[in-house]
């Protein structure tokens, strides 16, 4: 049985239109999640450890002000196109489109004001909440009026996120949620004030035989490389800290190529031995970006005044492959009029 509650969370600044931001609290016996109508942001995600104790396992802020200021997409839905597009440019039907450049020479997560920085219209469901917005033609440089629905539903230990979209003109689209996880839980985050908390003790596995090597601006080179014999082979669980040391890696910020298929499949699993928490990721998407919070630097004040240093969280962003609009041999990222974009990701939480 899931309960759904809505409450006021704050108001947008006057220069942003001053609209009211609501918070939706979804609760089952084993999971409690809070989601904002601003950016469809997951602000809180509480799950049980092996002793049955709830703790918050995502990074974020206590107030709306934290989310309206610049931050690394904590908990937000990003789009129209998640991840990077090289030089913020692509060609469609003989026309070149130029997007906003916001990540070195590239466009990242939708541009200057992506889906993470706007108010969505909410609708309460029996076991969740559905958000809607219309992204107008040429918003952030993208073609077509795009209608988008993001639906969060909670059932027992499973949080499902469904993304649907329809367009009036052919457009690239790839949506994901950018939650930052630390399965140790918020109870231990005050330790972050000393900068000692990290995700090195997490054990992770990703069901991928190949990954995408990137250039120095994090754009895929176009090669689809086998993980076999490399530090990117995560098909068997590895302890993150030891694995990074062994392969002299500064962290991950790479797309892993998932086994083809439109059906739900298990693609990643994370286990935190000290608390017994596990998180499984299931999805219909062709890729998953594994990011280890390499750019966190302790400068942001998060929940309870905690600081979030480098490697204090990880992201598992289910999505299409980065820069697919410029790489014809990557999975199709284009949505045409009359078609529907429809993808779901499931997060399943357990304690052992």
Selecting among 109, 178, 243, 343, the annotated active-site residue is: 178
Closest CA to 293 of 55, 70, 74, 32: 74
Closest residue by Cα to residue 180 from 340, 101, 296:
296
| Neighbouring-strand partners of residue 350 | 278
Amino acid 66: pLDDT: 95
CA distance 222 to 213: 8
Q: 297-319 pLDDT, tens per residue? A: 999 889 988 889 999 999 999 99
Fold classification of 3-198+283-351 is: Beta-galactosidase; Chain A, domain 5 (2.70.98)
Closest CA to 303 of 149, 205, 159, 189: 189
Determine whether 178 is an active site residue: yes
DSSP conformational letter for 331: P
Quote the CA–CA distance of 56 and 183 in Å, as a whole number. Answer: 8
Residue 142 backbone phi and psi in degrees, to 5: -85, 145
The pLDDT tens digits for 82-116 are 999 999 999 999 999 999 999 999 999 999 999 99
Cis peptide before 164 (omega within 30 of 0): no
Q: Where are the domains of the chain?
A: 3-198+283-351
Binding-site residues from annotation for beta-D-galactose: 83-84, 178-180, 253
Number of Cβ atoms within 10 Å of the Cβ of 250 = 10
Q: Identify whether 140 is a catalytic site residue.
A: no
Residue keyed to tokens 């469901």: 125
- Position 177 confidence tier, pLDDT thresholds 50, 70, 90: very high
> Of 272, 280, 317, 343, which is the active-site residue?
317
Contact between 210 and 225 (Cβ < 8 Å): yes
């Amino acid at each position: 049985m899931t309960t759904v509650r809505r409450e006021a969370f704050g108001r947008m600044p006057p220069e942003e239109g001053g609209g009211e931001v609501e918070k939706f609290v979804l609760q089952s016996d084993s999971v409690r999640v809070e989601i904002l109508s601003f950016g469809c942001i997951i602000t809180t995600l509480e799950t049980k450890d092996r002793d049955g104790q709830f703790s918050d396992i995502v990074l974020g802020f206590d107030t709306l002000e934290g989310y309206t200021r610049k931050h690394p997409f904590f908990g937000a839905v990003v789009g129209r196109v998640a991840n990077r597009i090289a030089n913020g440019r692509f060609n469609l039907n003989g026309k070149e489109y130029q997007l906003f450049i916001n990540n070195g020479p590239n466009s990242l997560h939708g541009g200057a004001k992506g889906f993470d920085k706007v108010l969505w219209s909410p609708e309460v469901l029996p076991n969740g909440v559905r958000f809607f917005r219309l992204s107008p033609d040429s918003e952030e440089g993208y073609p077509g009026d795009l209608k988008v629905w993001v639906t969060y539903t909670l059932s027992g230990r499973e949080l499902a996120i469904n993304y649907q979209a329809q367009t009036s003109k052919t457009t690239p689209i790839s949506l994901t949620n950018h939650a930052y996880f630390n399965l140790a839980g918020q109870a231990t985050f005050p330790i972050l004030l000393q900068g000692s908390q990290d995700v090195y003790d997490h054990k992770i596995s990703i069901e991928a035989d190949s990954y995408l090597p990137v250039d120095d601006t994090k754009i895929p080179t176009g090669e689809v490389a086998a993980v076999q014999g490399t530090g990117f082979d995560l098909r068997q669980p590895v302890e993150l800290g030891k694995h990074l040391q062994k392969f002299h890696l500064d962290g991950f910020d790479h797309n892993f190529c998932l086994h083809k298929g439109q059906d739900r499949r298990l693609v990643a699993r994370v286990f935190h031995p000290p608390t017994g928490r596990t998180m499984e990721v299931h999805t219909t998407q062709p890729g998953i970006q594994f990011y280890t919070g390499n750019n966190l630097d302790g400068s942001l004040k998060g929940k309870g005044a905690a600081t979030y240093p480098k490697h204090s969280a990880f992201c598992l962003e289910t999505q299409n492959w980065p820069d697919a609009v410029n790489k014809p041999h990557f999975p199709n990222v284009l949505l045409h009029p009359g078609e529907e974009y429809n993808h779901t990701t499931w997060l399943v939480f357990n304690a052992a």
